[in-house]
Amino acid sequence: MQLRVTGWRCHNIRGNLREIDIDLSLTPPRWTLVQMNNGGGKTTTMSLIRAALTGQKLDAETVKGLRPEDGESMGSFELRILIDGRLHVITMYFDYGSGGHSFSTARASEADGGLLDTHALPSEVRSLITPQFAELFVFDGELARKIRSHSSDRASSAIRTLYGIDRLETLRSTIERLLDEQQSRVAAVTQARDKRHVERLNNALQAARQKLKGLEDKRALIVGDCDHAKAERDRINKEIGDRIGQNEEAASELDALEENLRKADLVILGETNELRTSLQSPFLSCPRALGRLQGLSAQLQALQLPEAATAEFFQELADGEFCVCDEKITPPIREKILTKAATFMAADESGVINSMKTLVRTTDEDPARLQQPVDTLVGRIRERHRIKQKLDAKRATYIAAGGEELTALKEQADKHEREIGRLEEQLERLDSTDTTYQLNHGLGWEQNIPKCKAHVAECDERYNTATDTHKLLLQSRIAQKVLNNIETEALSLLREKVRTATNVKLAQLVPAERLEVVRIGSALELSSRNLARKDNVSEGQSLSIAYAFLASLFESANHRLPFIIDSPAVPLDAEMRREVIKVVPELFEQTIMFVISTERQDFAEAFYGRPDARFITLVRGPDGTAEQRDGEDAFKTFQDEDDAPAQNVGEAA
């Protein structure tokens, strides 16, 4: 499927969007740069494009917030798109009084113009372009953070949607529905007495499923709250860091301590891994265990076990009057037992025991050997603790010196930290599979998701046995399992493909840091030249990662979509802009960029003179209107009154 934006029109919308009609023609240029002043309505236009594409309902407050300052009562937004060459016009009508809105869709390819009073794009488009998916190509800058967040699952979910892997879910739910229908049919013809029993089992099953859904919903809410609290904590900590950083001496002292802490963490991680590997040897883990193993080995040696035991068994059997099967043992049979005894010895078991004996007897491992690395590690942990205490104390001193405002920020950050702790504890109660933890916290199937899932499976089993659909249930489970395995395998192949392509682009975008995506799990996991795992990246790096990932994601997908972005270069420094501009323009067949005047330098200027680029400048006019000027000259000379003339790129970022 190919989608192109051919234009949009705003009527009576706040900002500078009172009367705007952008017409990109039926053969839109590859690159469109729309320059506006800060606060001129870039973000609003992006949100409206997303809503028009997805048909997402806006809440009343959002609609009322679109009302222009002079209090017009109605407004509208029209988006014109080509879907596989066919023109579709989606219009959103806003009633600012009630906060309501409605859609209409005109499809030019229909004989009557195909005007419908609803959002009516082709089903393939509707199923693909969900609100979450639209954020990928009508790019929400916040997404740059979300695709690196483990709880948001945006990276994997984008791959799943774009490559059609989520269609397997349709197959799975169809299997589930067919099973449910068959169970209902069988239950309907069951005898009355049995019927009550079946109903009871069905009620128990439905209650268990409902409880499971409730727990999963609760979990999603907690994850959302926790994410929010973490984002707030990080934002406040960054603000505290920025303020302390204004004092150069303090910044350098804290940076040095943080670097020491990072180094200490790396050393502890490496030594812990080595120690864990050593501990897998039973000879090293515990002196008592080694002593007992050696005692056992000596006794087995003295008693000539296990060979003696096996030989003794056959000897005793041959000496007896009757065999173990109660048959009489005659002299020829006795002779046969003794001859064939060796054939019936459990050679493999004897072999294992003998090799254990040899291993224990000949080992020169000494548990005392572990003492030295353990002592070293304990020392390292203590040293890390000291560095951390020093860092915390220094930070507290600088915060206290920063006055009431900084202290208040710290209190807010601490409050979020406590909240995160509380929420993570709740998540552990919901997620824990540790039976000891479950027991200690009195967690039953109504409180714990893994236990609840097991309970649902039990109820399902009982219900299916009662409704005689057991075979169908087993077949459905096998089919589901095969589909799950295919999905896992396909996602793994696709993740690797996207990961490799992303790293090729990242090497070009951020050459100095040598950033790499090491794994695409629920999020993008990064490493860098110096760190095996890198969680903290600058805003510019974050954006570069998002560009590289999205470009790799889209380049081999079957859908060709436009890329629409707000302020693509604002967070980037001059060097990174020059790298991004080498890569980003070639990634999509149509790119629409909303820019401000400070993005011309080192970014927008790279498009000057390109025949397939179009420049539009929206100049703020009186009464919230905007004058539309076409062409490079107007674009180059536009000066936003909000931008100080001397402002440089770094300040703008």
SS (H, E, C) 353-382: HHHHHHHHHHCCCCHHHHHHHHHHHHHHHH
DSSP state of 534: B
The answer to whether residue 186 forms part of the interface with other proteins (CB under 8 A) is no
Q: How far is the CB of 81 from other proteins (least distance, A)?
A: 18
Q: How far is the CB of 11 from other proteins (least distance, A)?
A: 36
From the list 73, 102, 109, 170, which residue makes contact with other proteins (rule: CB under 8 A)?
Answer: 170
Q: What is the DSSP string of 233-262?
A: HHHHHHHHHHHHHTSHHHHHHHHHHHHHHH
Site string for other proteins, 97-116 (x = CB under 8 A): --------------------
Tokens standing for residue 553:
């994601």
User: Closest Cα to residue 18, out of 73, 75, 57, 56?
Assistant: 75
- Closer by beta carbon to other proteins, 124 or else 335: 124
- Closer by beta carbon to other proteins, 64 or else 477: 477
Nearest-angstrom CA–CA distance, 618 and 621: 9
- Closer by beta carbon to other proteins, 397 or else 488: 488
Q: How far is the CB of 464 from other proteins (least distance, A)?
A: 13
- The answer to whether 614 and 24 are in contact (CB under 8 A) is yes
Contacts of 437 (CB under 8 A, 6+ apart): 428, 443
- Closer by beta carbon to other proteins, 238 or else 470: 470
Q: How far is the CB of 182 from other proteins (least distance, A)?
A: 9
- Closer by beta carbon to other proteins, 172 or else 429: 172
The answer to whether residue 457 forms part of the interface with other proteins (CB under 8 A) is no
Site string for other proteins, 540-579 (x = CB under 8 A): ------------------xx--------------------
Q: How far is the CB of 10 from other proteins (least distance, A)?
A: 33
Alpha-carbon dihedral angle through residues 396, 402, 405, 411, given to the nearest 10 degrees: 0
Tokens standing for residue 607:
């498009």
Nearest-angstrom CA–CA distance, 265 and 32: 48
Using the contact rule CB under 8 A, the part of the chain among 158-166, 387-395, 429-437, 453-461 near other proteins is: 158-166
Handedness of CA 478, 482, 483, 484 (dihedral sign): positive
Total residues at interface with other proteins (CB under 8 A): 35
From the list 39, 99, 114, 164, which residue makes contact with other proteins (rule: CB under 8 A)?
Answer: 164
Tokens standing for residue 601:
């330098």
Q: How far is the CB of 344 from other proteins (least distance, A)?
A: 32
Residues 301-340 that bind other proteins (CB under 8 A): none
The answer to whether residue 122 forms part of the interface with other proteins (CB under 8 A) is no
Q: How many CB atoms lie under 10 A from the CB of residue 520? A: 24
Q: How many CB atoms lie under 10 A from the CB of residue 94? A: 26
Residues 215-234 that bind other proteins (CB under 8 A): none
Q: How far is the CB of 475 from other proteins (least distance, A)?
A: 4
CA atoms within 13 A on the CB side of 505: 27
Place of tokens 């899932």: 453
Q: Which of helix, strand or coil describes residue 122?
A: coil
DSSP state of 646: T
The answer to whether residue 371 forms part of the interface with other proteins (CB under 8 A) is no
- Closer by beta carbon to other proteins, 102 or else 174: 174
Nearest-angstrom CA–CA distance, 393 and 199: 65
Q: How far is the CB of 512 from other proteins (least distance, A)?
A: 33
Q: How far is the CB of 160 from other proteins (least distance, A)?
A: 11
Using the contact rule CB under 8 A, the part of the chain among 39-47, 168-176, 212-220, 301-309 near other proteins is: 168-176
- Closer by beta carbon to other proteins, 210 or else 485: 485
From the list 163, 283, 463, 554, which residue makes contact with other proteins (rule: CB under 8 A)?
Answer: 163
- Closer by beta carbon to other proteins, 374 or else 486: 486
- Closer by beta carbon to other proteins, 171 or else 266: 171
CA distance readout (Å), 265 to 155, 353, 385: 28, 42, 10
- Closer by beta carbon to other proteins, 281 or else 484: 484
SS (H, E, C) 14-60: CCCEEEEEEECCCCCCCEEEEECCCCCCHHHHHHHHHHHHHCCCCCH
- Closer by beta carbon to other proteins, 84 or else 349: 84
Q: How far is the CB of 494 from other proteins (least distance, A)?
A: 5
Residue 107 bridge partners (DSSP): 88
- The answer to whether 585 and 605 are in contact (CB under 8 A) is no
- Closer by beta carbon to other proteins, 35 or else 467: 467
Q: How far is the CB of 489 from other proteins (least distance, A)?
A: 4
Q: What is the DSSP string of 500-529?
A: HHHHHHHHHHSTTTT-EEEEESSSEEEE-S
Q: How far is the CB of 625 from other proteins (least distance, A)?
A: 43
Site string for other proteins, 123-152 (x = CB under 8 A): xx--x-------------------------
Q: How far is the CB of 564 from other proteins (least distance, A)?
A: 22
Cis peptide before 131 (omega within 30 of 0): no
- Closer by beta carbon to other proteins, 298 or else 482: 482
Q: Tell me what percent of the chain is helix, strand and coil, each rounded to the nearest 5.
A: 60, 15, 25
Q: How far is the CB of 479 from other proteins (least distance, A)?
A: 5
- The answer to whether 15 and 41 are in contact (CB under 8 A) is yes
Q: How many CB atoms lie under 10 A from the CB of residue 253? A: 18
- Closer by beta carbon to other proteins, 262 or else 481: 481
From the list 98, 174, 637, 648, which residue makes contact with other proteins (rule: CB under 8 A)?
Answer: 174
Residue 527 bridge partners (DSSP): 516
Residues 472-501 that bind other proteins (CB under 8 A): 472, 474-479, 481-482, 485-487, 489-490, 492-494, 497
Residue length, the chain?
653
Contacts of 260 (CB under 8 A, 6+ apart): 387
- Closer by beta carbon to other proteins, 95 or else 166: 166
- Closer by beta carbon to other proteins, 170 or else 639: 170
From the list 116, 178, 221, 532, which residue makes contact with other proteins (rule: CB under 8 A)?
Answer: 178
Contact set with other proteins (CB under 8 A): 1, 123-124, 127, 163-165, 167-168, 170-171, 174-175, 178, 471-472, 474-479, 481-482, 485-487, 489-490, 492-494, 497, 558-559
